[in-house]
Amino acid sequence: MQLRTQGKLIGFVPTMGSLHEGHLRLVDVAKEKADVVVVSIFVNPTQFGPNEDFEKYPREETADVEKCEQRGVDIVFAPDAGEFYATNFSTFVNEELCSRGLCGDFRPGHFRGVATVVLMLFNVVRPDLAVFGKKDAQQVAVLRKMVGDLFVPVTVVEAPIAREEDGLAMSSRNRYLSAEQRKLAPRLHATLQAAVESVRAGERRAKAVQEQVAAALGEGEAFRVQYVGVVDAETMQPVEEIAPGRTLLAVAAFLGATRLIDNVDL
Ligand code: PAF
């Protein structure tokens, strides 16, 4: 509270903990843009489906707090799961455009849970800006829309996808991969890059790009593709024709039981 009255700009990085370099890069972005950086650690139950990995989701708060300290985070906010949601909680935020399609089709209620908890966190932390990773591009689109529609006084900043050296997008779920699956995983990004090349070479048909990606990932049967979407980069709604700079290629695929997502701008 005092920090705000002193005119300090407050940057916020909401996380579900189990922090890796990808999260810490979000912290770096927040530090560049704000005077004070707050990180929240909260595994949000309302954004997990009944058959998803809420119980199994890695929790390592002590190590997370240490990582935050080392990276220069000023405040860590880690509410207790039982305390953050009131027992009679009954108010949810439903964004109804950007949350349609892509992950929204396969994770019913997910973006409702995300939008709700992010608004709750914004109301408690009261940041000037909040940084989210582009790996979850649909999440960023949903939150930008929520902030715009509901006049939430927070600037949403999108940070680039942090990748391992071999191209795999960093994710807390990568740790679920076996050694063999980990070797195969970078193919996801390589396949998206190949699609970027096709578009650079003049391909504009969304369907052709979708088929190219699905076929490349289907080879060898390692990946089980959930979706390949070619969408408007702002609304996340499908397009037929690619408009370079305004179109996103997003994919979700399983390697064994682990669901990976990735995306590129076309
Ligand atoms: O991206 C995440 O880790 C979560 O969806 C978020 C934004 C922290 C909300 O729980």
The Cα-based distances of 186 to 134, 220, 222, 252 in angstroms read 17, 14, 12, 13
Q: Which two tokens stand for residue 2?
A: 């005092």
**Is any atom of ligand 1 closer than 6 Å to the C-beta of 47?**
yes
Question: Rounded to an integer, what is the distance from CA 136 to the centroid of its chain?
Answer: 2
Question: CATH 3.40.50.620 region(s) of the chain?
Answer: 2-159
If you measure from the C-alpha of residue 138 to the centroid of ligand 1, how many angstroms do you get, rounded to a whole number?
12
pLDDT of residue 219: 85
List the residue whose alpha carbon is closest to atom 8 of ligand 1: 15
**Is any atom of ligand 1 closer than 6 Å to the C-beta of 117?**
yes
List the residue whose alpha carbon is closest to atom 5 of ligand 1: 114
Q: Quick one: 129 exposed, middle or buried, by C-beta within 10 A (0-12, 13-18, 19+)?
A: middle
At 233-260, the pLDDT tens digits run 999 999 999 999 999 999 999 999 999 9
What CATH topology corresponds to 172-265?
Pantoate--beta-alanine Ligase; Chain: A,domain 2 (3.30.1300)
List the residue whose alpha carbon is closest to atom 6 of ligand 1: 15
Asked whether residue 2 carries a pLDDT value surpassing 80, the answer given is no
Is 20 annotated as catalytic?
Answer: no
Contacts of 19 (CB under 8 A, 6+ apart): 41, 63, 64, 67, 68
Contact in structure between 251 and 192 (CB atoms under 8 Å):
yes
**Is any atom of ligand 1 closer than 6 Å to the C-beta of 113?**
no
Compute the half-sphere exposure of residue 133: CA atoms within 13 Å on the CB side of its CA: 25
CATH, range 2-159: 3.40.50.620
Question: CATH 3.30.1300.10 region(s) of the chain?
Answer: 172-265
Least confident of 28-37, 197-206, 218-227: 218-227
If you measure from the C-alpha of residue 215 to the centroid of ligand 1, how many angstroms do you get, rounded to a whole number?
31
Asked whether residue 32 carries a pLDDT value surpassing 90, the answer given is yes
Nearest-atom number in ligand 1 for the CA of 114 is 9
Contacts of 151 (CB under 8 A, 6+ apart): none
Which residue type, as a one-letter code, is found at position 127? P
Contacts of 107 (CB under 8 A, 6+ apart): 49, 52
- pTM beyond 0.95: the answer is yes
> For residue 82, what pLDDT band results from cuts at 50, 70 and 90?
confident
